[in-house]
Structure 1
C-alpha cells in the first residue's frame, strides 16, 4: 500500500523568477505469508510484520541493586549486575532467554521518502537548494567506540554521558559501562533502536549570471559565477554520526566549491 506525488511550480514577478517543487512517497508493507523457520511463539514470527521490522528484547529499565536482580526472572545471557538492562519476560515462563524475542519499535526500511527544492533569481543573482529526507525509519546503534564503548580497549564518546551509575540510577538512559564483554546489555533491544528519520540539505548554490551584453563583449554565450555547498545540514535524532551511515569508516564529507561556468 502506498502513495506517491510530485509538484513543481515556476513563476515570474517582474524581474524576480522563483520556483518551488517537491515529491513525497509513502509505502507500508505487511508480510502476509512466507516460508520461515518454526517459531515456538507467535510473537517471534516475522509473518504479519513489515519488511525490515526489528526484533529483540523489550526493556523495563535497569537493575537498581542485587535485590532487584534476585526478584526478577533469571536473564540467561550473562551474569548481570546493578546497572544492567532488565528485560521483560514476554512469554511468562519465569526466565528471559531467546524465546522472549518479539517485534520491537520501528523498521529499518523507511516508509516515507520526500524531497523539496526551491530557487529564485533577480537581476542575475540567484539561489537554489535541495532538501531530502526519510521518515518512519529506525536504526540500530551498534557502532563500536561510539555506541558500544570500552570493549576490546575501544574509545568512549560523549554519547555515554547518560549511562547508569550509582549517582544517576534514577535518570540513566543507558546501561552501566564495563571493559568486560557484556552479552546481556548489547542484545538487540529497544534501548539501542532509535528514530532514524532525517532531513538533509543536500546542496545549495548562490550564483551570479553576467548580463548578456557583457557576456557578448567577452565573446561568450553565458558566464556564471557560483559558490556551491554539498551535505550542508542534517536534522536528525542521532547527532553523533550520519544517520545514513552508522558504520566505522570514512565519514560523509561536507564540501564547498567555487567556480565559473562559461558556455560559448
Structure 2
C-alpha cells in the first residue's frame, strides 16, 4: 500500500514520493533431503572365512518429507526528497518445522541413528536499510548504503527424546563437542565450566577441598556442593551474533570512482579450540603458545594455570568475543573518456584495482573471527583452525565495443 497515492498524502508527494507499507505470509519447503535416505542401505564386506557379507550402513525412512518454513514479513519502504534518501525496515518471523535431524535408535539395530523429520527452530528479527546521496554535483557524487540485521534464533523442539543434544553424544561436552543444541537456546550454544582464574598460595586449604592445589585452574562451583563435576557445567557462550551490519560508500570524482565496503558482526562468541592444545599440557601435547611464558609459578602467581595444572576441559577460558569490523573491499576505478575510446572503436572502458579483506578490527586472538563460522549452524563459532580469509588484490579492465 503506497500511502503517497492517497488523496490525504498528495500534498507531501514532492518531499516523499514513495512510502509503502507491505506484508506477506507464506510457507516454503526445503527439499534438500540426502539421496536415498528413504531406503535401507548396506555396505559390502567379508567375514573371517572370506565369504561376502552385507551390513546395514543406514536405516531407511519412507516417511521423510520436506522441511517447512512459515514466514511472516511486515515492512515499510520509503524515498525522500526526490530519491536522495531511501529507507527500508522489515520485521520477519520464521518458524521452521520438520527439521531433518538424526534421531538416536537402539544399538541392536546395527546403527546409532536414523534421519527423520523432527524438531523446529524460529528466527525473529529486523532488517534495516538506509541509503542516500548526501552530495551530488556535476563533478562529484557520494552514494551511501547502510544495512543492519538484528536476529534472535531459538530452538523450539529437538528429537522429542531430549531437550539437549551434544554433538559428541557424550554425557558432558568434550573437546570435540563444545557446542550443543538445547531447547530454548540459540543454535551454536557452548557448554562448559566457568573459568574463575587460578588457585593462589593463599587459597591452599580451599583448593584442597576441590582436589586442587595452587597453580591449578579454578572453576565456579555452580551448585555449591563442594565439588566440580558435570553438575557445574553451564552455558558459557553462543555463536549467534546479535547484530550483523555493513556500510557501503561510493565516491565519484570526474572519471574516477572509489568504492569502500565495511562489514561486521557484534554480540557473538567464538570457542577457540586452537588455544586448547597450545596452552595446556597433557600426555600427548605440550604448551606452544607464547602466552604460557607467563604461566603460574610460586614466584610468578598469575592467572594462567601452571604446566602441572592442565586445563584440558571445556571452559569459558577458551571463549572469546567474536565482534569484528572488516574492510571487506575497496575498489578504485578510472573510466576512460569517450573521446579517447572513439578513436579505437570502444563504447566504454574502465580500469580498476581492487583489494579484499584488507583490514580487520577485532579483539579475537585467533587468525580470523570470520573463519570460525562452521558449515553447519549448530557448529558455528567453533574455531578449529579453519583457513582464514586471505587478502587478495586484483587489477582489471572492463571494456565494451
Post-superposition shift, 1:163? 3.6
SS in 1 for 2:274: coil
Residues 128 and 146 (structure 1), Cα distance of their counterparts in 2 relative to 1, 3 Å cut: farther
Residue 203, structure 1, aligned to residue 329, structure 2: yes
Q: How many residues were matched structurally?
A: 250
Match of 1:189 in 2: 315
| Unaligned segments of structure 1, at least 5 residues | none
Residues 69 and 192 (structure 1), Cα distance of their counterparts in 2 relative to 1, 3 Å cut: farther
Match of 1:262 in 2: 399
Match of 2:129 in 1: 6
Match of 1:63 in 2: 199
Cα distance in 1 for partners of 2:280, 2:207 equals 27
SS in 2 for 1:29: strand
Residue 91, structure 1, aligned to residue 223, structure 2: yes
Residue 72, structure 1, aligned to residue 197, structure 2: no
Cα distance in 1 for partners of 2:132, 2:266 equals 24
Residues 38 and 14 (structure 1), Cα distance of their counterparts in 2 relative to 1, 3 Å cut: closer
Post-superposition shift, 1:86? 0.7
Alignment deviations for residues 171-213 of structure 1 (CA, whole Å, 9 cap, x no partner) = x3432335x9x3xx13222221110111111111111111111
Q: In structure 2, which of residues 350, 356, 359 is the aligned counterpart of residue 230 of structure 1?
A: 356
Q: In structure 1, which of residues 133, 141, 145 is the aligned counterpart of residue 264 of structure 2?
A: 133
Residues 211 and 167 (structure 1), Cα distance of their counterparts in 2 relative to 1, 3 Å cut: farther
SS in 2 for 1:95: coil
Moved more, 208-217 or 138-147: 138-147
Residues 112 and 146 (structure 1), Cα distance of their counterparts in 2 relative to 1, 3 Å cut: farther
Q: In structure 1, which of residues 18, 30, 34 is the aligned counterpart of residue 142 of structure 2?
A: 18
Cα distance in 2 for partners of 1:38, 1:116 equals 39
> 1:105-254 to 2 correspondence within 5 Å?
106-143=237-274, 147-148=278-279, 152-153=284-285, 156-169=288-301, 172-177=302-307, 182=310, 185-245=311-371, 246-248=383-385, 250-254=387-391
Post-superposition shift, 1:100? 0.7
SS in 2 for 1:51: coil
Kindly indicate whether the alpha-carbon contact (under 8 Å) linking 2:147 and 2:247 is maintained by their aligned counterparts in 1: yes
CA RMSD, Structure 1 to Structure 2 (Å): 3.0
Cα distance in 1 for partners of 2:279, 2:362 equals 20
Kindly indicate whether the alpha-carbon contact (under 8 Å) linking 1:145 and 1:154 is maintained by their aligned counterparts in 2: no
Alignment deviations for residues 76-130 of structure 1 (CA, whole Å, 9 cap, x no partner) = xxx74432211111112221111111122x3112222111111101111121011
Match of 2:167 in 1: none
Higher radius of gyration, 1 or 2? 2
Cα distance in 1 for partners of 2:206, 2:239 equals 35
SS in 2 for 1:90: coil
TM norm structure 1: 0.81
Match of 1:54 in 2: 190
Cα distance in 1 for partners of 2:331, 2:297 equals 48
Match of 2:379 in 1: none
Residues 164 and 262 (structure 1), Cα distance of their counterparts in 2 relative to 1, 3 Å cut: farther
SS in 1 for 2:357: strand
Residue 37, structure 1, aligned to residue 162, structure 2: yes
Cα distance in 1 for partners of 2:145, 2:352 equals 22
Moved more, 29-38 or 125-134: 29-38
Kindly indicate whether the alpha-carbon contact (under 8 Å) linking 2:191 and 2:314 is maintained by their aligned counterparts in 1: yes
TM norm structure 2: 0.55
Q: In structure 2, which of residues 222, 234, 248 is the aligned counterpart of residue 102 of structure 1?
A: 234
- Bigger RCO (CA 8 Å, 6+ sep): 1
Kindly indicate whether the alpha-carbon contact (under 8 Å) linking 2:193 and 2:219 is maintained by their aligned counterparts in 1: yes
